Amino acid sequence: VHTNSSQGMQDWRRATPISSPKPISATTLNHISRETRDVPRMVRFYRDVLGLSLIKRPNFDFGGAWFALPGKGGGVALHIIESDPEKPSVVINQEGTQCLRAPERFIRRSEHFALTVTDIEEAKQRLKEHGITFAINTVPGTEIVQLFLYDPDENGIEIGNFDVHTTSSQGISECTRVKCNADQQRCVELQSSIHSPDILSGLSSDVVLYSSWFCPYAQRVWIALEEKGVTFQYVEIDPYEAPAAVDSTRKYTKKPLSLDEKRKRYPEWIAASPLGLVPALRHKSATVCDSMVCLEYIEEVWQGVGEDAVNCTLRFPHLLPKSPEERAHVRYWCVYANEKIIPFYYRMLMEQEKSAQENAKQIILTGLFEFASAMSAEGPFFLGACISMADIVLFPWYERLVTVGAAYRDFSVPNSCRGFARLEKMYDAMKKRPAVVRT
């Protein structure tokens, strides 16, 4: 909120006139940083408490993690940097004419914010004109130049040409499309990075999810990765032909690309998914496609560890229960949802005859009632207190049934029936889970 009171903020523009040398022309805030000796603890806080999404970071010689910060336009990151008393953060090649810190003090990577400039040479010249000491660093394998300096109270500031393109695949200007808005309407590009493999075991930088924002099958896999706490690179796939240049009102068409066109546009995706379908996973040398196969793979690779299984706070929480009988129970109802509910959602939308639409609705409602009858009475999830693969399998379509289905086919779930009320309980609990919110 703004204040017009004399008790509010002082107008520093009147108190401090601009000095004669021109100021630096910064375009955007690029990132802010925080220092820690316990990176996993910081990751759990910013990811699980504040709901921030992990993004990739370069393979620096020091540990850390990067998060996407929310905000209009995106593109601003939080850098968590591992501190090491044995390896102080020193940046070489100091320039300038005025030293704000004693020579024995070193310029730190942590506890600073960074601004983006388009002309790094001009920024260097402006700093010199103001008599400001700064240090220079060039990110290996890139054209990115970083300037480090301090304000009069010794608060750290970084300035860099972060928008330049790299000539090396090891650089940080390689961009990854990262999903960061709840309505799934757009993706923003954030600088990619790679987690130090020894810092966060299991938060693998070698996982890539090929997805499309509108695809409920892909959302299943996304939710599972988030639930497991796996760090992954999100690659947005547009499987449709681009609209005509003269039609500025359309962002995409509904005409699918041919498999050859998909291969030309997204060769790594097709290598992971030979049929050209999302979702697909790449994990180190392994490639996995089909949403159910991906879910099983995620469950097997990132096994739950820890002692608090009762309260569902394992490091990698199980999506399938330990008992073979219960695992079979979950798997059966996953198959049931795939065969008896989901196909009829699409039939309901595609059919143009009213009678055919109503027939599909009744089949869906019957399927949902049977699914609800198999759920634990306690809830809120399919098996009770802990989320399982069955919840993840059904949720994306249940959400679309009560939103898209309601809007286009007047679909509704009777809330007077106890079975359907049980489904609503699951739906409400799923919507609130941080892993689901992040998708």
CA atoms 148, 152, 155, 157: torsion sign: negative
**Which residue, chain included where needed, has tokens 């041919």?**
258
- The pLDDT score that the predictor gives to residue 84 is 66
| pLDDT (tens digit per residue) in 332-367 | 999 999 999 999 999 999 999 999 999 999 999 999
- The string of pLDDT tens digits covering residues 287-310 is 999 999 999 999 999 886 433 334
pLDDT digits (tens, 9 = 90+) for 14-31: 555 555 688 998 888 888
* Residue 132 pLDDT > 80: yes
Fold of 324-437: Glutathione S-transferase Yfyf (Class Pi); Chain A, domain 2 (1.20.1050)
Mean pLDDT of 264-278: 95
Higher-pLDDT residue of 437 and 74 is: 437
Domain boundaries, the chain: 12-160, 201-301, 324-437
For the entire predicted model, the pTM comes to 0.58
Report, in angstroms and rounded to the nearest whole number, the Rg of the chain calculated over CA atoms.
26
Tell me the pLDDT band of 279, cut-offs 50, 70 and 90: very high
**Beta-strand (E) ranges in 142-187?**
145-150, 156-160, 175-178
| Residue written as token pair 């998708």 | 439
- Could you tell me which residues come within 8 angstroms of residue 312 by beta carbon, excluding any fewer than 6 positions away? 385, 386, 387
Region 124-131: mean pLDDT is 90
Q: What percent of the chain has pLDDT over 90?
A: 41
pLDDT of residue 87: 54
* Strand 280-283 relative to strand 286-289, pairing: antiparallel
When comparing pLDDT for 383 and 138, which is higher?
Answer: 383
Structure confidence at residue 18 (pLDDT): 54
Q: In terms of pLDDT, which residue wins out, 347 or 240?
A: 347
Say how far apart CA 411 and CA 297 lie, in whole Å: 34
Round to whole Å and give the CA distance between 320 and 333: 12
Would you call 74 helix, strand, or coil by DSSP? coil
Q: Which residue has the higher pLDDT, 379 or 278?
A: 278
pLDDT single digits (tens) 178-222: 333 323 332 222 222 222 223 333 333 589 999 999 999 999 999
pLDDT in tens, 365-402: 999 999 999 999 988 999 999 999 999 999 999 999 99
pLDDT score for 350: 95
Q: Residue 309: what pLDDT?
A: 38
Statement: 201-301 belongs to CATH 3.30.499.10: no
**Which class is domain 12-160?**
alpha beta
